[in-house]
Amino acid sequence: MASTLIDSVIFQGIFSSDAMRQVWSDENRTQKYLDIERALAIVQGRLGLIPQQAADEIVSHCRLDQIDLGLLRQQTERIGYPILGVVSQINALCRDKLGEYVHWGATTQDITDTATVLQIREALDIVDAELAGISAAMARLAREHRDTPMIGRSNLQQAIPVTFGYKMAGLLSAIERHRQRLAQLRPRVLVGEFAGAAGTLASLQTGAMETQAGLCAELGLGQPLIAWHTIRDNIAEVGAFLGLVGGTLGKLSMDVKLMMQTEVGEVFEPYHHGRGSSSTMPQKRNPIASCYIHAAISVVRQHSAALMDAMVADHERSTGPWEIEWIVLPEAFCLMAGALKQSRAIVEGLEVDTAAMRRNIDMTHGLVMSEAVMMGLGKYIGREYAHDLVYDICRLALKEQRPLLDLLCENAEISAHLDRAALARLCDPANYLGQSGVMVDRVLASLG
């Protein structure tokens, strides 16, 4: 009985992905608990802190198929945490009371936090792969449309020409920065936790730091310098990272939505029969993937803030802030997986209408070239005077619905310095793309 969009049989493929849902599933979380207890027994057996016979026995039972999840639910509801239930079940499975050595010197939060880090590692791998796919698709679009003119917009108004490749390269540069951030945060975040009741490892009189080092090595995690039971910047950083990625995906979806408007029609989400259609208006083709992205990343952003709240923890073991992470971290990753999946589908199959882009540049009959004209005239009559002169001519062009070029040619002050051919060159959008192409090339050249 699913009650959220993430687990909904109907919506789960839209707002998340099967791979990410598996990472944060009860089964995978419980398996991570078992993996940690297994690794702990191996290390402590090797160090002689527990009998090798006990270590072998514990290891033999650290398998998900030996855990009764129904019983674990009951134990968790009674105790308040699942770890003791897992430990109790392993203990009961072991012969000759050898299970008494399971969880030796550990505390509930050690196992819980380390399991969360292991899940984060798997989740970040999924995010990284999706970002790589989005990067590749954006690079292709930037390369193909390096010199494709389109109108740049400011305050939703037509500004000056840019290129569609320039627009894509700007988004691509952000995606690449996110990939760099992900690589940089891994060593800070992928760190295990084994510190005991209040973080001092007083539960182990000998071999404490050796156990910690061995456990982290066995799990492929970094060893912490000091306990982080209530120092949660590492988890909050993950949330902040997801929020930043979501912001860029939201920017992509916003531009696609605006460019898909009937009056604009410059790009379209990939076509699939019936997708984005209306139940009453057969002509409509809604930006459906972009809508899903917008909704998902908006919730992720709130979850990022909640993870900041979880940093405000009391003393050495907290009373409530920790559990915030249990609620929002899985959902943030699952929603991000959905947003990434939808974004990748958009950029990999984006339909680009270059004719519409040119049509929209030309719809003002040259007014969008007013800055180019002003700068061209500035060297003869001064930039500020040229601005005021061209401003007045633009108002006249709007009033009379005439091409800017014709009015420029009719002005005696202007024609004294520039003939019609020179003015036509100033009014040609292809001649006023600035360094768009150079910037596209720089972004593409930076790709690894």
Q: What pLDDT, on a 0 to 100 scale, did the predictor assign at position 275?
A: 65
Known catalytic residues are 278, 317
Q: Give CA–CA dist 250/356, Å, rounded.
A: 24
Q: What is the pLDDT of residue 282?
A: 67
Q: Which CATH number fits domain 17-104: 3.40.50.450, 1.10.1060.10, 1.10.275.10, 1.10.10.60?
A: 1.10.275.10
Task: State the span(s) of the chain assigned CATH 1.20.200.10.
Answer: 108-149+162-202+221-353
Cβ-proximal residues to 239 (8 Å cutoff; 6+ apart), any chain: 303, 304, 306, 307, 308, 328, 329, 332
* Distance in angstroms (rounded) separating the CA atoms of residues 426 and 402: 17
Judge contact between 145 and 168, C-beta under 8 A: yes
Kindly report whether the global pTM for this prediction surpasses the value 0.85.
yes
Contacts of 5 (CB under 8 A, 6+ apart): 11, 12, 14, 15, 16
Residue closest to 62 by CA, chosen among 97, 24, 5, 103: 103
Check: CATH 3.40.50.1100 for 359-445?
Answer: no
The β-bridge partners of 162 are: 150
Residue 356's nearest CA partner among 261, 282, 437, 428 is: 261
CA distance 12 to 334: 9
Q: List, by residue range, all CATH 1.10.40.30 domains of the chain.
A: 359-445
Tell me the pLDDT of the chain (448 aa) as tens digits.
Answer: 888 888 888 888 888 999 999 999 999 999 999 999 999 999 999 999 999 999 999 999 999 999 999 999 999 999 999 999 999 999 999 999 999 999 999 999 999 999 999 999 999 999 999 999 999 999 999 999 999 999 999 999 999 999 999 999 999 999 999 999 999 999 999 999 999 999 999 999 999 999 999 999 999 999 999 999 999 999 999 999 999 999 999 999 999 999 999 999 999 989 777 666 566 766 668 889 999 999 999 999 999 999 999 999 999 999 989 999 999 999 999 999 999 999 999 999 999 999 999 999 999 998 998 999 899 998 999 999 989 999 999 999 899 999 999 999 999 988 889 899 999 999 999 999 999 999 999 999 999 7
**108-149+162-202+221-353 classified as CATH 3.40.50.2300:** no
Domain with CATH 1.10.275.10 in the chain: 17-104
pLDDT of residue 283: 66
In degrees rounded to 5, what are phi and psi of residue 107? -130, 165
The burial of 399, by beta-carbon neighbours within 10 Å (0-12 exposed, 13-18 middle, 19 or more buried), is given as: exposed
Q: What burial letters (b/e) apply to 192-207, b meaning 16+ CB within 10 Å?
A: bbbbbbebebeebeeb
* Look-up of token digits 């459906």: 288
